[in-house]
Chains A and B, each alone.
Chain A
Amino acid sequence: MIKFQDISKKYGEKEVLKQISSSIPKGKITSLIGPNGAGKSTLLSIISRLLKQDEGNVTLMDRDISSIKNNEIAKQLSILKQSNNLDLKLTVKDLVSFGRFPYSKGRLTEADWEQVNRALDFSELKELENDYLDELSGGQRQRAFLSMIIAQDTEYVLLDEPLNNLDMKHSVKVMKTLRRLVDELGKTVIIVIHEINFAAQYSDHILAMKDGKIKYNEATNDVIECEKLKDIFGIEFDIIEKENKKICNYFNL
């Protein structure tokens, strides 16, 4: 279980997170939503020890995350940010095999390779495994990074805007893969996401932020309501319900 308490973070004079506390439910997809500058990515970075908070503490399975060794955390929690170097000429398989680094330190065993192949199969990248990353499309590349995270085989999977710059087909593919990660492998997924409809369709839980504070922290269908969304994003929403899934129209109201 990931818990965080009284987290504050300032960038210079600007307070990005204001004493926020909560926990992330296990075995679910939790979407972090909110307008630009709400502090979603900062919160994700702090939870995943990439960024140091000014105040407060994060606990991973009841242990303070700052007291756990980096390599130990890497076996429990994985984080994928957008800022990866994309110029490197690595094959998809090379990249995915790096996911086993916390376990094997680069000397992959038979079992590690099995895990790598399973991850490639899981993300349907088997036929691209010998292609270089810089020759892939943005969507394929994003799936390759996701595949690496799957090979890392961690209880918690954190993703910062995984759908950034992807077309619809690849966005759906990525979200379906995440769904299967939770439903079939029992992982816990936390994503920062901008498109509200992807959050509404695929996530179990929503943590909505605004101005460095948590506004709503509830099951998906309870957050996807006209009044609440208007409160978060400051624009009008029209919600259509179909087969117990909600779709938001906010495009031209």
Chain B
Amino acid sequence: MKENRKQQITYIILVSSILLLSLISLFTGVKEIAFSDILDMSDDQLLVFSISRFPRTAALILTGAGLSIAGFIMQQLTQNKFVSPTTAGSLEAAKLGILFSLLLIPTASTTNKMFFALLFTFAASLLFMLMVRRIRFRSTVFVPLIGIMFGGILNSIATFFAYKNNFLQNIQGWLMGDFSSVLQGQYETIYFILPVVIISYLYADQFTIAGMGESFAKNLGLSYLAIVNLGLFAVSLTVSVTIVTVGAIPFLGLIVPNIVSLTFGDNLRKTLPYTALIGAIFLLICDILGRILIFPFEIPIGLMVGIIGGILFFLLILKRNK
């Protein structure tokens, strides 16, 4: 009973923070739109609101929730708390995918790019899982190191082809997360994160069980490989969609799941809502601060996530060691 009450209170706090932060996010920007104008917006204001402000806020919430869940699933499946899209080569694979989509279809649409990115990211995740399972020396630090090296190799392949085809300047920008370019008509692919969230919730128990190891999962009658593949597909879809629409947000998938895991545990069914909500809140805060601090300019979101997340993470580790 007491546990339930605590849970309810946590939910209320998290949901109301999201609402509050969304409002702030909607009314922060160079174009002045005051909260009191909401019922009586000029055409101009309405345009800014629907073309830029709303898409930006929606993208922030979805990206924050999606990448955090993706990180959590990856950490469960690899049994390693330091694995995330940033440390498993997923970002670089997506970049390679976008590059190939542009090489093969010069007029590639966002959906084309996403499809290619998904293909490459999924293939890279499968390969990464294969490597992780083959490694005999399974130390906690070793696995993400392999992932980073793997990402480095993919990155150099991308650079090579980009250089050959005069795309080099172009590809530098893809991995820079940027929410200011999120505009109506260009960002809608981000809604692909919604089905991923639903899948993750439906299969939450399966992911947790798969995280306990292959023989453990098989003992409970689970098809281990099918679950791993489903998880990797969900992660790849999330990563590809975010890269194509907003660019890479480093560390988010590492920091949020670890914070949630330290405070609420690893039972995905229980913690998935927390992960999604906290991920969204975290990204909203980073984005709003980034927009306010050097107004009217913006601090890149990746930098904000790195700084704030790093400090939070450090505090948590210190607190835990006490």
Contact = CB atoms under 8 A, between A and B. Distances in A.
A85 B212 contact: yes
Interface stretch (B214-222, B228-236, B243-251, B292-300): B214-222
B79 A85 contact: yes
Interface in B258-290: 261-262, 265-267, 269-270
Contacts of A88: 76, 208, 211-212, 266
Contact of B267 (A48, A80, A90): A90
A89 B216 CA distance: 16
A98 B220 contact: yes
B221 A79 contact: no
A144 to B, nearest CB: 12
Interface residues of B, number: 26
Interface stretch (A70-78, A115-123, A198-206): A70-78
B209 A101 contact: yes
Interface in A152-169: 152
A106 interface: yes
Contacts of A85: 79, 211-213, 216
Task: Bin chain A's interface residue count.
Answer: 20 to 34
A70 B218 contact: yes
Contact of A152 (B208, B220, B223): B220
A90 B221 CA distance: 20
B269 A89 contact: no
B206 interface: yes
A102 B262 CA distance: 29
A87 B209 contact: no
A10 B307 CA distance: 53
Contacts of B269: 106
Given A84-B216, A101-B205, A70 B261 contact: no
A81 interface: yes
Contacts of A102: 220-221
A106 B206 contact: yes
B265 A83 contact: no
Given A89-B266, A90-B265, A106-B206, A50 B218 contact: yes
**A-B CB proximity, top 4 nearest:** A74-B221, A71-B221, A106-B205, A89-B265
Interface of A: 45, 48-50, 69-75, 78-81, 83-85, 87-91, 94, 98-99, 101-102, 105-106, 132, 152
10 contacts: A45-B215, A69-B221, A70-B218, A74-B221, A79-B215, A80-B219, A83-B213, A98-B205, A101-B220, A106-B204
